[in-house]
């Protein structure tokens, strides 16, 4: 992997790359937030307009999934969503890496969601009542079995949540790295520039073909994946919170 | 003619990869070779079966959208969630494959 993958252009010694890029994303988001709220006006324009549009999407999704009870948890979901989206998109810039292409970052996000929705569930309906829900609507004899299965399934949630995001971003990163490698001076472009007749005849068209493929197909796909993965992470977090909140309503 | 051209193009495109693979140390160790084989085969299997599953899910979703254009937004959300769940199984295999590629000795 080290042979084909160029190390990120911005690198501070003694600081792991994903932490450095997490800081960069934090800085970007902080600057955008400051710019957007510097001159708040009733008729929004510029950055404020854009951020309000983003916020509206999150609010709409939250209301659809959780209902009015979900509003207090909107800041959490939106922070996670903006952070994940910004780092996903940053991973598409050659020379930068996505902070979410590291399991540590995504596991941190998923664990925050995991702890939060359990805390919400316990606070909304008390510890015993919340625990009872794990047993589910089954005959008394089967309740212990159901309880264990539910605990396992709840523990699998942060695992799948973090691995899904990490796997998507990492796979995209490796794919782009391989295609850039094959396109570059070690691959088709180098062959085309080598001076041999075969290199010019075959290397040059295939280099062009590869550029067209990457720019025309791979990059739109990766941008789509970046948005969809953010959407899925947020939607699942909302669904988990909805599960913890809604259970309180049945009683 | 077209087939030969396609085949030769594919062969040529594979050349840098082959050259890169040939740089590996000469003493091919069995564990490493088997790990690479397992990673490739396992990921291919997972990706193919995921293709079947996602194709079914997307097909049914499009069918439902055609029948009920009013519910497109909600069907789309459900489809995306379902696709994510199917896909996450492949990503588990992807992680395992990457781990397998790091097998030493």
Which positions in chain A have a beta carbon within 8 angstroms of at least one beta carbon in chain B? 1, 3-4, 160, 163-164, 166-168, 170-171, 181-182, 186-188, 191, 202, 206, 228, 231-232, 235-236
Identify which of A157, A132, A126 has the alpha carbon closest to the alpha carbon of residue A144.
A132
Q: What's the pLDDT score for residue A142? A: 84
Residue of B16, B80, B95 with shortest CB distance to A232: B80
DSSP A174-185: HHHHHHHHHHST
Quote the Cα angle for A178-A209-A169, to 5°: 30
On whether residue B4 sits in a domain, the answer given is no
CA-based nearest residue in chain A for residue B15: A187
Structure tokens at A29: 């988001």
pLDDT in tens, A16-68: 888 999 999 999 999 999 988 888 887 777 888 888 899 999 999 898 888 88
For residue A110, pLDDT over 60 is answered with yes
Q: Which of residues 10-49 of B touch A (CB under 8 A)?
A: 12-13, 16-17, 20, 23
Residues, chain B, total?
A: 105
Asked, for residue B3, whether it belongs to a domain, the answer is no
Task: Report yes or no: B68 at the A interface, CB cutoff 8 Å.
Answer: no
Of B80, B91, B94, which has the smallest distance from its Cβ to A228's Cβ? B80
- The beta-carbon neighbor of B91 closest among A1, A4, A163 is A163
Q: How far does CA A6 lie from the centroid of its chain?
A: 23
Q: How far, in Å, CA of A101 to CA of A98, rounded?
A: 5
Give the number of domains in chain B.
Answer: 1
- How far is the C-alpha of B76 from the C-alpha of B58, rounded, in Å? 9
Give how far B88 is from chain A: nearest CA, Å.
5
pLDDT tier, A250 (very low <50, low <70, confident <90, very high otherwise): low
Say if CB A40 and CB A32 are below 8 A apart: no
| C-alpha–C-alpha distance, residues A185 and A95, integer Å | 16
Confidence (pLDDT) at A222: 92
How far apart CA A76 and CA A84 sit, in angstroms, is 12
Confidence of residue A128 (pLDDT cuts 50, 70, 90): confident
When pLDDT is cut at 50, 70 and 90, the band that residue B1 belongs to is low
Q: What separation, in Å, do the N-terminal and C-terminal C-alpha atoms of chain B show? A: 45
Which of B9, B16, B88 is opposite residue A187, by nearest beta carbon?
Answer: B16
DSSP state of A203: I
Q: What is the pLDDT of residue A43?
A: 79
* CATH number of the domain residue B73 falls in: 1.20.20.10
With CA atoms as reference, the chain B residue closest to A4 would be: B20
Q: Which residue has the higher pLDDT, A176 or A110?
A: A110
Can you read off the two tokens belonging to residue B91? 């990503």
Is B87 contained in some domain? yes
Contact residues for A241 (Cβ-Cβ < 8 A; gap 6+): A66, A70, A73, A77, A116, A117, A120
List the structure tokens of B102: 């790091």
pLDDT at B57 over 90: yes
Residue B79 domain-assigned (yes or no)? yes
Tokens of B58: 């997307």
> Of chain B residues 80-99, which have a CB less than 8 A from chain A?
80-81, 84-85, 87-88, 90-92, 94-95, 98
- The answer to whether position B21 is within a domain reads no
A167 → closest Cβ in B20, B23, B94: B94
DSSP state of A139: -
Please report which confidence band the pLDDT of residue A183 belongs to, taking 50, 70 and 90 as the band edges.
confident
Mean pLDDT of B78-93: 89
pLDDT at B30 over 80: yes
Q: Measured between beta carbons, which residues in chain A are less than 8 angstroms from residue B46?
A: none
The pLDDT of residue B27: 52
- Residue A226: which residues within 8 A CB-CB, separation 6 or more? A85, A88, A89, A91, A92
CB contact under 8 A, A235 and B77: yes
pLDDT tens-place string over residues A4-27:
666 777 778 888 888 999 999 999
What does the alpha-carbon distance between residue A99 and residue A127 come to, in Å, rounded to a whole number?
A: 36
Domain range for B57 is 48-105
Let me know if residue B39 belongs to a domain.
no
ipTM: 0.71
| Minimal C-alpha gap between B101 and chain A (Å) | 10
């Amino acid at each position: 992997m080290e042979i084909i993958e160029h190390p990120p252009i911005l690198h501070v010694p003694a600081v792991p790359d994903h932490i450095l890029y997490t800081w960069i994303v934090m800085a970007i988001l902080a600057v955008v937030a400051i710019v957007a709220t510097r001159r708040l006006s009733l008729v929004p324009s510029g950055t404020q307009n854009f951020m309000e549009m983003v916020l509206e999407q999150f609010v709409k999704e939250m209301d659809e999934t959780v209902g009015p009870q979900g509003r207090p948890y909107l800041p959490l979901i939106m922070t996670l969503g903006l952070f994940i989206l910004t780092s996903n998109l940053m991973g598409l810039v050659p020379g930068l890496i996505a902070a979410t292409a590291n399991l540590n970052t995504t596991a941190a996000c998923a664990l925050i969601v995991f702890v939060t929705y359990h805390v919400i569930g316990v606070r909304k309906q008390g510890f015993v009542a919340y625990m009872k829900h794990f047993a589910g609507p089954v005959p008394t004899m089967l309740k212990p079995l159901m309880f264990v299965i539910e605990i396992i399934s709840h523990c699998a949630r942060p695992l799948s949540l973090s691995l899904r995001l990490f796997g998507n971003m990492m796979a995209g990163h490796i794919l782009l790295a391989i295609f850039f490698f094959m396109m570059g001076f070690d691959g088709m472009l180098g062959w085309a520039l080598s001076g041999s007749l075969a290199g010019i005849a075959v290397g040059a068209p295939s280099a062009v073909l590869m550029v067209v493929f990457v720019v025309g197909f791979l990059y739109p796909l990766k941008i789509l994946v970046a948005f969809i993965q953010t959407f899925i992470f947020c939607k699942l977090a909302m669904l988990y919170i909805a599960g913890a909140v809604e259970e309180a309503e049945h009683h | 003619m077209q087939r030969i051209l396609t085949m030769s193009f594919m062969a040529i495109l594979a050349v840098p990869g082959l050259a890169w693979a040939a740089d590996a140390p000469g003493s091919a160790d069995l564990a490493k070779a088997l790990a690479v084989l397992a990673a490739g085969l396992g990921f291919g299997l997972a990706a193919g079966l995921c293709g079947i599953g996602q194709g079914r899910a997307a097909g049914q979703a499009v069918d439902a959208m055609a029948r009920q254009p009013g519910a497109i937004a909600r069907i789309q959300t459900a489809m995306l969630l379902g696709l994510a769940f199917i896909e996450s199984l492949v990503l588990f295999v992807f992680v395992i494959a990457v781990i397998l590629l790091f097998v030493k000795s």
